[in-house]
Amino acid sequence: MSTEVKVPVLGESITEATLGEWLKKPGEAVAQDEPIASLETDKVAIEVPAPVAGVMGDYSVQAGDTVNVGAVIASIEAGSAASVPKAAADTAPKQEAPAAAAAPAASAATSAGNDMPLSPSVRRLVLELGVDPTKVTGTGKDGRLTKEDVIAYSKAAPDTQPAPASAEAAPVPATGSRGEERVRMTRLRQTVAKRLKSAQETAALLTTFNDVDMSAVIETRAKYKDLFEKKHGVRLGFMGFFTKAVALAARDVPAVNAQIQGDEIVYFNYLDVSVAVSAPNGLVVPVIRSAESMSFAEIEKTIGDFGARAKAGTLTMADMEGGTFTISNGGVFGSLMSTPIINPPQSAVLGLHRIEDRPVAINGKVEIRPMMYMALSYDHRLIDGREAVTFLKIIKEAIEDPARLLIDL
């Protein structure tokens, strides 16, 4: 008896997805609710759980195929892996047979490592660092390897890495050889490309800049970070200060937290901040709900949770939906200055950049201060230049004098 595996409901208005990868091979035993495949939607990767326990049957679709909600993608056969007919087991990839014959006494860790699929980014890092993935303990979901696992293993156990191949065993490509690699765009990357291009074609985009002296925030963090972490169990970061400052500025410049819908302007009396965080397949933007009413600790805990779940691939569609304003921190990657693009239908995005010591004039004297450039990209159809400049000025004043955040100035 077999049970069909169907594409689950993916979220409001989402009718199709791309099959990212199979997590179970035909002939392998699966437990009920165990992930057997991953689907890439317009926003996140979603795992497909096994509806019943049994043995993985044949695939109906392959990685890279587009599937609709409710479509059958595989089957699960009743019974255990040991009782599966040989014909079913033979549907597994043939190249594994030589490996099994060559290493019949492989350790449990090696077997687990060989059976666990690697994401493209982890696979690339493994090749770059020369790490044997079967010797690395995975800390991701279901024991999968993450990039952090590979990097930590590479740093902690350099002596266990494979010795460099000899000149005779490692042929060197001919000088001047050229090659290329074609990789199918993920559904997430396709959607990002379409939305950003749509923003350029639809909105009247303009960017205004300001710089901010980070001395006061850095001193505040240094003074209270240990107490803050001890009391709240989370580190005090810069994003909490900027989120609170945006909430403060949005009250005085409501157009920045508004949207054009048809021939109407919708002003929101709440601030749902989309924050860009890094995920294995690219940047995603989960939403901090009602940020204007949250404390520093609540904001930092929410952002930390988003970051951990993004790396583990467990963010949901509900985490991504909505958002009235976006904060993007390119500074964590070393960006000095940029012109971010708004995330439609939002009307503005605040870009943060790296902090660097620069000479500035303070009371007629030149001093070295930790400075950061801020960029506000906005839809000029809704937001005037005066409003954009005022918005950035309020944020600058709040960051340079954090007491303003406590007394609503």
Residue 174 to residues 170, 182, 215, 227, Cα–Cα distance (Å): 12, 21, 53, 59
Residue 321 CA to residue 269 CA, distance in Å, equals 18
Contact 154, 132 (CB under 8 A): no
Report the relative pairing of strands 72-77 and 348-362 from DSSP bridges: unpaired
Contact 319, 377 (CB under 8 A): no
Q: Which of 91, 83, 82 is nearest to 57 (CA)?
A: 91
User: CB neighbours of 190 closer than 8 A, spacing ≥ 6?
Assistant: none
Residue of 252, 357, 384, 401 with catalytic role: 384
DSSP of 237-251: -HHHHHHHHHHHHHH
Distance CA 45, CA 61 (A): 17
- Exactly one of 132, 226, 380, 401 is catalytic; which is it? 380
Are the CB atoms for 24 and 76 separated by under 8 Å? no
Q: Which amino acid is at 376?
A: L
Residue 408 falls in the annotated catalytic set: no
In order, the DSSP letters of 311-363 are HHT---HHHHS--SEEEEEGGGGT-S-------TT-SEEEEEEEEEEEEEEET
Q: Are 186 and 20 in contact (CB under 8 A)?
A: yes
> How many angstroms separate the CA atoms of 80 and 283, rounded?
40
Q: Does the active-site annotation cover 380?
A: yes
Among 267, 317, 247, 312, smallest CA distance to 287 is for 317
Q: Which residues are catalytic?
A: 380, 384
